[in-house]
């Protein structure tokens, strides 16, 4: 039996208003792939962040290789051979791959034996070798900002390996990857284990755990529920423990009853920031009571499509008609009053004012109406009661209720707040852009429920997602976007997953 | 005529340049630096005080006070800049506000101290430190080249100092470990932190350097513009060097071109007024030329520039 390389003993960690970890004890064996499973806010990130020295526990002890350690900084964690890949990568965007990897441990040579200088030639050579050794393909001289997410992730992994880390922590590593990239990531992780590394995987995706992990700890609301052997545990059991009750993986729904046309998009063309056509001559209609889902690989014009219909970017050709009103290039305010709700992909920059409190974020689209302001003066009390109403109705949890600064909330609750704000307007059209990105199973189910409920209420729903499972779960009609054009529109029941995949890759065109 | 334009242009551009490098250090590390104006003034004050104090020991003809003055200007500017670093890095104050406060503080404090020091050390009630005229160097041979020879005539010693320091600073920024870490802190302090770099100390040192380099600039202006230190030194040259570093896209070499452009705009304007025989009050108009030029250039080129990504962001380790 392998030795315990890391041991958490009775770890407790509190944040204002929340106990993130409540007396958690668990041990991780050398050379295993250990998954920590839990919903957002379950405390799994907090737990491993303490192993990496980003927080210090309020109570309890951490043992590394049998020795009690007070890990007070990532630097010290590094010296213990612990490395971490954060969910949001920590890379310097205008540096090359090699510069990023050696940063902090730069090879130095002396010019004329005296003047110190960073030896980039050696760095590039070392990184190329490292990349070769572990089969992580990168080009040392590429600049980070030109690389895709999967490559950046490989850079992060190499960064740990360059520091000779033995314990590798991954925080939600697959949240931003495509299915193909996830498959290759899983291969990478297996390869690392074969090299003798210990891997800690924080995730809420059960199928990945099933595919790659040896053991799995399940956390719920700060408490450790159980540690399971993945081979013998069933996904249903794990899911139940994670959310604390049974969940089903498909959203139950009544057959759709389409009403009249709500959104009519004709020959829509939109340019991206670089001035190129990102959406090309796209036409479709969405009826009342219909979930119209757009599938596609990231970067095929989805952002521009959603933003243009929501009125955030300029439409360079074609028309958008809502309930018979032309809203092409109308102002955002007109979009709101005509009835467009938008759940944007970028929660932090578009969805919320992060430094506002929760209750100030709710009326962002309505604050000017008589309900919330009289003669230009905002009604504090109305903000408060409205906030309480939405927190209650949408089960939004936060440290200090309506007075919580939204920046301090977990991703899942931030998204719930946006959804509450948008859905409460009861608009005829709702646009969901990547609504469940980075969220856990419980939150995903909850959002899918909302999508279907809105449809049943008679709203037209435009759902744009990179997650095919999500689209299959919710859609009445599936459209596939490739390179800015809609390749295929089909009733959901009449198209197979494989077929969608072929359209997504542009192999098949209608 | 042409000689004057080149000589005056260079003696104005180069101090601006070294101050812009200081600004680049600070801003590349992620700390907005509007305080260059105050740094150069405080540096010049320290340097000028030490210089005239040493006149009393070594005599006004000696070269010792001149160089000791520059060294003390560097130290004075640097120490004053540490206050900005303290506010911005340690106490996480708003960097723009801190910068403006530094400028006001420098202006008020140095005016006050100049009068007090004059009263108690030198027994007069002037509000300025009178410096003796700086030596000028002419490089034999090179100065005889037609037109550009002027660049080697009547050079202030500080111009050579500045060029040497500038080369060293360029090397430190782009070739050393510290420079690499500094630039990383300005783009993504979280990644620097994760790489085991102490973001706070990198930034503090960067701001200190910007104060030191501004001190050189302030002392140079004290010699070249007025041959004294007085509150007149706060003419906005610090802001001008900020404009130069922005045009220069936060890079050292392009910033040099921006500074040269400002310097020659100024000296050409002065020459034109002299040539046209306009009254000396028009000189004030000439002084606005670099600023007018700044406005015009900002309109045309401002958009294409990219500031360091984390510029002005307060870095707090604990923040998610």
Only one residue has tokens 């467009």, namely A340
When the pLDDT of each residue in chain A is averaged and rounded to a whole number, the result is 89
Asked if B194's CB is within 8 angstroms of A108's CB, the reply is: no
- Between CA B176 and CA A127 the distance in angstroms is 19
Q: Where are the domains of chain A?
A: 4-243, 259-339+427-510, 356-425
The residue in chain A having the minimum alpha-carbon distance to the alpha carbon of residue B202 is A104
pLDDT at residue A247 in the model:
52
pLDDT at residue A162 in the model:
94
Distance from CA of B3 to the nearest CA of A (A): 38
The residue in chain A having the minimum alpha-carbon distance to the alpha carbon of residue B186 is A92
Asked if B196's CB is within 8 angstroms of A78's CB, the reply is: yes
Question: Residue B253's closest CA among B70, B20, B84?
Answer: B20
- How many residues can be counted in chain B? 320
Of residues A74, A99, A118, nearest to B196 (C-beta): A74
pLDDT at residue A457 in the model:
92
Q: Is the dihedral of CA A454, A460, A462, A467 positive or negative?
A: positive
Q: State the DSSP H helix or E strand holding residue B1, giving kind and residue range, or none if neither.
A: none
pLDDT at residue B283 in the model:
76
Contact A203, A21 (CB under 8 A): no
Q: Select, from the ranges A19-33, B274-288, B304-318, the one with the highest average predicted confidence (pLDDT).
A: A19-33
Beta bridge partners of A195: none
Radius of gyration over alpha carbons of chain A, in Å?
25
Contact A419, A436 (CB under 8 A): no
Asked if B309's CB is within 8 angstroms of A104's CB, the reply is: no
Whether residue A357 has pLDDT greater than 90 = yes
Asked if B177's CB is within 8 angstroms of A92's CB, the reply is: no
Instruction: Assign domain A4-243 to its CATH superfamily.
Output: P-loop containing nucleotide triphosphate hydrolases (3.40.50.300)
The residue in chain A having the minimum alpha-carbon distance to the alpha carbon of residue B187 is A92
CATH of A259-339+427-510, one of 3.40.50.2030, 1.10.3720.10, 3.40.50.150, 3.40.50.300: 3.40.50.300
CB neighbours of residue B33 within 10 Å: 33
Whether residue A159 has pLDDT greater than 90 = yes
What SS3 state is found at A475?
A: coil
Lowest-pLDDT range of A137-141, A321-325, A473-477, A504-508: A504-508
pLDDT at residue A2 in the model:
59
Q: Model confidence at A172, in pLDDT bands (50, 70, 90)?
A: confident
Q: How many CA atoms lie within 13 A of B308 on its CB side?
A: 28
What SS3 state is found at B7?
A: helix
Q: Which residue has the higher pLDDT, B93 or B319?
A: B93
pLDDT, tens only, A46-104: 899 999 988 889 999 999 999 999 998 888 898 999 999 988 888 999 999 999 999 98
What is the mean pLDDT of the segment spanning A227-237? Answer: 86
Q: Which of A18, A83, A104 is most worth mutating to test chain B (most B CB atoms within 10 A of its CB)?
A: A104
Q: What residues of chain B lie within 8 A of the CB of A118, using their CB?
A: 175-177, 180
Distance from CA of B250 to the nearest CA of A (A): 13
Q: Which residue has the higher pLDDT, B40 or A205?
A: B40
Question: Residue B307's closest CA among B53, B26, B40, B56?
Answer: B26
Measured between alpha carbons, how far apart are the two ends of chain B, in Å?
61
Distance from CA of A106 to the nearest CA of B (A): 7
Give all domains of chain B, ordered by start, each with its CATH number: 2-304 (1.10.3470)
pLDDT, tens only, A385-420: 999 999 999 888 888 888 989 988 888 889 999 999
Token pair for B38: 């105050």
Q: Model confidence at A17, in pLDDT bands (50, 70, 90)?
A: low
* H-state helical runs in A424-491: 441-457, 468-474
Judge whether A4-243 and A259-339+427-510 match in fold: yes
- Between CA B34 and CA B26 the distance in angstroms is 10
pLDDT at residue A20 in the model:
86
Assess B176–A contact: CB distance below 8 Å, yes or no.
yes
* Percent helix, strand and coil across chain B, each to the nearest 5: 75, 0, 25
Buried b vs exposed e over B263-279: b needs ≥16 C-beta within 10 Å? bbbbbbbbbebeeeeee
pLDDT at residue B273 in the model:
82
Q: What residues of chain A lie within 8 A of the CB of B175, using their CB?
A: 117-118
Residues 6+ apart with CB under 8 A from A275: none
pLDDT at residue B80 in the model:
97
Furthest-apart CA pair in chain A: how many Å? 80
Whether residue A242 has pLDDT greater than 80 = no
- Between CA A217 and CA A201 the distance in angstroms is 10
Contact A361, A394 (CB under 8 A): no
Asked if A99's CB is within 8 angstroms of B177's CB, the reply is: no
pLDDT, tens only, B25-76: 999 999 999 999 999 999 999 999 999 999 989 987 888 999 999 999 999 9
What is the mean pLDDT of the segment spanning A147-174? Answer: 91
Question: Residue A261's closest CA among A292, A294, A302?
Answer: A292
Q: Model confidence at A249, in pLDDT bands (50, 70, 90)?
A: low
Lowest-pLDDT range of A203-207, A483-487, B63-67: A203-207
Of residues B175, B184, B190, nearest to A103 (C-beta): B184
Q: What residues of chain B lie within 8 A of the CB of A86, using their CB?
A: 194
Of residues A104, A108, A116, nearest to B197 (C-beta): A104
Assess B187–A contact: CB distance below 8 Å, yes or no.
yes
Q: Which of A103, A117, A124, A156 is most worth mutating to test chain B (most B CB atoms within 10 A of its CB)?
A: A103
Distance from CA of B1 to the nearest CA of A (A): 43
CB neighbours of residue A184 within 10 Å: 14
Distance from CA of B33 to the nearest CA of A (A): 21
Contact A62, A146 (CB under 8 A): no
**Number of A:B CB contacts under 8 A?**
62
Lowest-pLDDT range of A295-299, B254-258, B264-268: A295-299
pLDDT at residue B110 in the model:
95
Asked if A103's CB is within 8 angstroms of B175's CB, the reply is: no
Token pair for A449: 């429920």
pLDDT at residue B266 in the model:
87
pLDDT at residue B302 in the model:
66
pLDDT at residue B41 in the model:
96
Distance from CA of B194 to the nearest CA of A (A): 6
The residue in chain B having the minimum alpha-carbon distance to the alpha carbon of residue A160 is B195
Q: Which residue has the higher pLDDT, B302 or A132?
A: A132
pLDDT, tens only, B143-201: 888 888 888 888 999 999 999 999 999 999 999 999 999 999 999 998 898 888 899 99
Question: Residue B225's closest CA among B80, B48, B54?
Answer: B48
Whether residue B276 has pLDDT greater than 90 = no
The residue in chain A having the minimum alpha-carbon distance to the alpha carbon of residue B179 is A118
pLDDT at residue B320 in the model:
40
- Between CA A449 and CA A455 the distance in angstroms is 10
**Residues 193-212 (B) with a CB less than 8 A from some CB of A:** 193-197
pLDDT at residue A330 in the model:
93
Residues on chain A bordering chain B, Cβ-to-Cβ distance under 8 angstroms: 55, 74-75, 78, 84, 86, 89-95, 99-100, 103-106, 108, 115-118, 159, 407
Distance from CA of A181 to the nearest CA of B (A): 23
Distance from CA of B85 to the nearest CA of A (A): 22
- Between CA A279 and CA A508 the distance in angstroms is 18
Token pair for A377: 């003066």
- Between CA A510 and CA A500 the distance in angstroms is 12
Question: Residue A12's closest CA among A69, A59, A72?
Answer: A59
Q: Model confidence at A1, in pLDDT bands (50, 70, 90)?
A: very low
Of residues B180, B190, B309, nearest to A90 (C-beta): B190
Distance from CA of B181 to the nearest CA of A (A): 7
Asked if A117's CB is within 8 angstroms of B175's CB, the reply is: yes
- Between CA A272 and CA A463 the distance in angstroms is 20
Sheet containing strand A340-343, edge to edge, reads A340-343, A429-433, A460-465, A290-295, A477-482, A485-491
């Amino acid at each position: 039996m392998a030795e315990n390389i890391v041991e958490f003993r009775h770890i407790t960690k509190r944040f204002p208003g929340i106990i993130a970890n409540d007396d958690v004890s668990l041990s991780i064996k050398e050379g295993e792939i250990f998954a920590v499973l839990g919903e957002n806010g379950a405390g799994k990130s907090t737990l491993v962040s303490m192993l990496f020295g980003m927080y210090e526990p309020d109570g309890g002890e951490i043992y590394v290789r049998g020795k009690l350690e007070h890990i007070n900084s990532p630097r010290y964690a590094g010296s213990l051979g612990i490395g971490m890949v954060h969910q949001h990568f920590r890379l310097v965007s205008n540096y090359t791959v090699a510069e990023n990897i050696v940063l902090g441990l730069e090879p130095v040579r002396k010019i004329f034996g005296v003047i110190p200088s960073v030896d980039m030639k050696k760095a590039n050579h070392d990184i190329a070798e490292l990349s070769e050794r572990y089969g992580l393909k990168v080009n040392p001289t590429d600049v980070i900002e030109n690389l895709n997410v999967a490559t950046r992730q490989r850079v992060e992994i190499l960064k740990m390996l360059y520091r000779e880390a033995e314990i590798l922590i991954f925080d939600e590593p697959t949240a931003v990857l495509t299915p193909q990239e996830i498959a290759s990531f899983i291969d990478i992780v297996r390869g690392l284990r074969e090299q003798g590394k210990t891997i800690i995987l924080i995730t809420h995706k059960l199928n990945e755990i099933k595919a790659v992990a040896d053991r799995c700890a399940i956390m719920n609301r700060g408490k450790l529920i159980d540690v399971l052997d993945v081979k013998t545990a069933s996904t249903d059991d794990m899911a139940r423990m994670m959310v604390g009750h049974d969940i089903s993986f498909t959203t139950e729904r009544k057959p759709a009853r389409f009403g009249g046309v709500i959104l009519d998009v004709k020959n829509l063309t939109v340019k991206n920031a670089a001035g190129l056509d990102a959406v090309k001559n796209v036409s479709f209609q969405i009826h009342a009571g219909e979930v119209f889902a757009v599938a596609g690989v990231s970067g095929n014009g989805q952002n521009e499509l959603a933003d243009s219909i929501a009125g955030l970017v300029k439409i360079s050709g074609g028309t958008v008609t809502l309930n018979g009103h032309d809203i092409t290039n109308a102002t955002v305010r007109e979009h709101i009053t005509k009835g467009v709700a938008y759940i944007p992909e970028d929660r932090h920059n578009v969805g919320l004012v992060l430094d506002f409190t929760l209750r100030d974020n709710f009326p962002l689209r309505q604050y000017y109406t008589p309900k919330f302001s009289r003669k230009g003066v905002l009604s504090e009390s109305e903000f408060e009661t409205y906030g309480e109403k939405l927190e209650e109705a949408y089960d939004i949890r936060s440290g200090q209720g309506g007075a919580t600064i939204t920046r301090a909330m977990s991703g899942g609750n931030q998204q719930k707040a946006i959804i509450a704000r948008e859905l409460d307007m009861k608009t005829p059209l709702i646009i969901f852009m990547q609504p469940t990105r980075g969220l856990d199973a419980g939150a995903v189910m909850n959002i899918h429920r909302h999508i279907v409920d809105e449809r049943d209420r008679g709203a037209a729903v435009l759902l744009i997602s990179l997650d095919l499972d999500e689209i299959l779960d919710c859609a009445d009609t599936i459209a596939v976007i490739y390179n800015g054009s809609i390749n295929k529109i089909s009733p959901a029941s009449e198209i197979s997953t494989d077929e969608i995949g072929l359209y997504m890759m542009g192999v098949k065109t209608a | 005529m042409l000689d004057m334009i080149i000589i005056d242009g260079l003696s104005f551009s180069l101090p601006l340049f070294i101050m812009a490098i200081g600004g680049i250090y600070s801003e590349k590390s992620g700390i907005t630096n509007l305080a260059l104006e105050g740094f150069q003034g405080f540096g010049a004050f320290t340097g000028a005080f030490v210089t005239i104090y040493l006149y009393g020991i070594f005599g006004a003809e000696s070269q010792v006070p001149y160089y000791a003055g520059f060294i003390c200007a560097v130290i004075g500017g640097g120490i004053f800049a540490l206050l900005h670093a303290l506010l911005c890095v340690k106490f996480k104050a708003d960097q723009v506000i801190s910068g403006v406060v530094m400028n006001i503080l420098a202006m008020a404090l140095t005016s006050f101290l100049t009068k007090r020091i004059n009263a108690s050390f030198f027994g007069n009630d002037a509000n300025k430190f009178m410096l003796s005229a700086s030596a000028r160097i002419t490089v034999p041979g090179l100065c005889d080249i037609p037109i550009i020879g002027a660049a080697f005539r009547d050079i202030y010693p500080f111009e050579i100092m500045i060029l040497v320091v500038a080369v060293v600073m360029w090397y430190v920024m782009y070739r050393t470990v510290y420079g690499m870490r500094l630039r990383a802190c300005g783009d993504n302090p979280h990644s620097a932190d994760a790489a085991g770099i102490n973001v706070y100390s990198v930034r503090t040192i960067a701001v200190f350097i910007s104060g030191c380099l501004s001190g050189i600039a302030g002392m140079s202006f004290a010699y070249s513009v007025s041959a004294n230190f007085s509150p007149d030194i706060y003419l906005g040259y610090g802001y001008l060097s900020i404009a130069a570093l922005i045009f220069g896209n936060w890079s050292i070499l392009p910033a040099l071109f921006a500074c040269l452009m400002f310097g020659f705009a100024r000296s050409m304007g002065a020459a034109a007024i002299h040539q046209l025989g306009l009254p000396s009050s028009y000189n004030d108009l000439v002084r606005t030329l670099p600023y007018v030029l700044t406005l015009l250039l900002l309109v045309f080129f401002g958009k294409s520039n990219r500031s360091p990504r984390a510029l002005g962001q307060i870095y707090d380790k604990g923040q998610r």
